[in-house]
Structures are given as C-alpha cells and as structure tokens.
Amino acid sequence: MVHPVNFVLLFGGLFRFSLAASRTSPPAGAVVVRSGTTAAGEFATISAAVSSLPNDKTSQSIFIFPGTYTEQVDITRTGPLTIYGYTNDTSSYGGNQATLQAGVPASTAGSDDASGTLRIHTDNFSMYNVNVKNTFGIGSQAIAISQYGNRVGLYACGFYGYQDTLYANKGAQVYLKGYIEGAVDFIFGRTGLAYFGGNTIAVKAPGCITASGREANDTGSYVFNQNTIVLATGSSVSSTSGKVFLGRPWGDFAKVVFKNTIVTTPLNTALWSIWNTGDPRTHEVFLADFNTTGSGVTGVSRANFSTLLSATQAASYSIASAVGSDYTTWVDTAYLV
C-alpha cells in the first residue's frame, strides 16, 4: 500500500513531509534519471540531469530511478534543488535503490573536495533516499560527499567511504535518519555548522569518527543527537575493539558534541583522541558527550581534555544551536528525532 504523501514549501523548494511512504514515481515537474534510458526527456546520468537545469533562481527537482550511477556529480546551480531517490520507504535509508558512486582518491584528484563523489557548492540543496559512495578504500583520503553549501539537508541518505567519507566543510547542514560509514576521520571539515540526528554511524576499522578542523572560536560545530554507532558489516570486532574514538582535533578549536548516543561496538575508554603524538591540539578544544550508553562504552575513563556534559548543559546543544534558530524555514522537520 502506498501511503499518502504531503508536500510543504520551504525556501521555494518542495520537501516531502510525511514519512513511511513510498516514492516510486517522479514528483510533478521533476527531471528524470533512469539507468540506460534512451527515452526523450530522460537522462541516463545524474550529471546530465543536473546540467539540463536552468542556472537561475527557480526551484527544481530530480528523480532517480533504481540503479548504480558511476560518476562524480557537482551541484552548482543558483536556485534551490531537491534530488529524490527511488524507495519503498522514505523514512529510512534501508530501502534506498538509487546509488551514486565513484572511486576517486584525493591523492590523484588534487584535493579532498575534488575527490568527492557528490560535491555541493550551492545553497538551498536537499536530497532524499540516495546512497553516495567513494569506493577507493584504503590508501588516501577519498570523499563521498563534499559539502560547501548553506541550508543543505540530507535525509535518509547513505554515505560510504573509508577515510574522510563526509566532508562537512562549510555552511549550515543537517544529516537526518541516514547512514554514515568509514574508518579514519570520516566526518570532518573546517567551518561547517552541522547537525546529525537519528543516523546509524558505522565504523569499518580502527580510527576516529570525527575530525573537527575548527581553527578559531567561531560559530562552527558538529552536534550529534540520538545516533547509533555500530560496527560496519564485514568488519571485525577483534580488530576494532578499543581502537575507535568519537573524534580527534584536526583544528586547535575543534568543537564536537555527542548527545544520547547508543554505542554497540567497543570504543576506546578515553572516548576522544589527541591529533597525534607530539601535536595533540587539545588546548582549546570542546569535545563533549552526554548520555552515551550501550555495550560499547563500558569502563569509560574520559580523556582529560574532554567534557562530560550535565543534562542542563547538554540541552543547550541542539539543532538550533548548531545550524541556527531559523532551521524550521529550511529543514524537513519530519525527519527530526
């Protein structure tokens, strides 16, 4: 049965508002991407569909039929854009049937951003139920999503990589009810204002989940609320046990908060790591957690440069504190937990 789906208009773009629905046909007016298509008006690649859009301030949408699309996609158009992936359940990444993938390492691309499978360099972008992968693996930074836009929402999407999977580098952005997989510093960036809610965060190997590169006492931060940290499928408990950390400071003013996190894979008891021996970068950091529970956090002895928040303190770190009090004007709040 297909449940009814409602739409709400935010910053001039359509957002799907009800959850637990299917999305198996394009919304009215959407540009269609279908693998192998030769039909007039349809596109066989996501890049071609994006290139077909007018570079103006109009709101546009793209619908992706099931398939694996091997390409890098750059989003640069001026106006709002929403990309929808085919799914039988809009509320979860588990039913996603549209996958964008590439295997470009930063070592050959020339920069982290240039290696990105999906590169967002515009404001007012949203995406639902699409998996994005960088398949390069071990040996170089290799970004799945490189995010430089403002007012960007990623809903029930999956992001897969190894080192530096998700580059939350700039602008206000939310990642809700999705999946994020990696091993080394796989959620990272410099000045991003990012909120992560209701996601599954999967670790593939020993390493740090976050690497905040915040270099000054500015408004940037990463706030995580009600996420679950698990061991990625195919990874070994014996090789990762006690060797995974919530994060380490890439920048001297790193700021990361984890609230209400359930952990099922064993973390290092310190929870947080220095940058490296001889260059700890911990003097000005704010690396904090509250209500971290689960079988993976037994015998915790937090690093002395980290903070255990009280309930009152934790309440001050929210989606509003992370991305701004106007978040209801651009975030699809149906995906908040």
**CA distances from residue 316 to 92, 171, 306, 310 in whole angstroms, order as listed:** 28, 20, 17, 10
Catalytic residue among 112, 164, 185, 332: 185
DSSP string, 105-121: -HHHHSSTGGG-SEEE-
Cα–Cα distance between 171 and 125 in angstroms, integer? 12
Instruction: Answer whether 81's CB lies under 8 Å from 125's CB.
Output: yes
- Torsion sign (Cα): 283, 287, 288, 292: negative
Residues 6 or more apart whose Cβ sits within 8 Å of residue 258 = 224, 227, 246, 288, 289, 290, 292
Q: Of 183, 185, 173, 152, which Cα lies nearest the Cα of 221?
A: 173
Cα–Cα distance between 83 and 77 in angstroms, integer? 13
Mark whether 185 is an active-site residue.
yes
Write phi, then psi, for 239 (nearest 5 degrees). Answer: -85, -20
Burial of 304: CB neighbours in 10 Å, binned 0-12, 13-18, 19+: exposed
Cα–Cα distance between 40 and 86 in angstroms, integer? 20
The CB density around residue 311, as the number of other CB atoms within 10 Å, is 9
Which active-site residues does the annotation give? Answer: 185
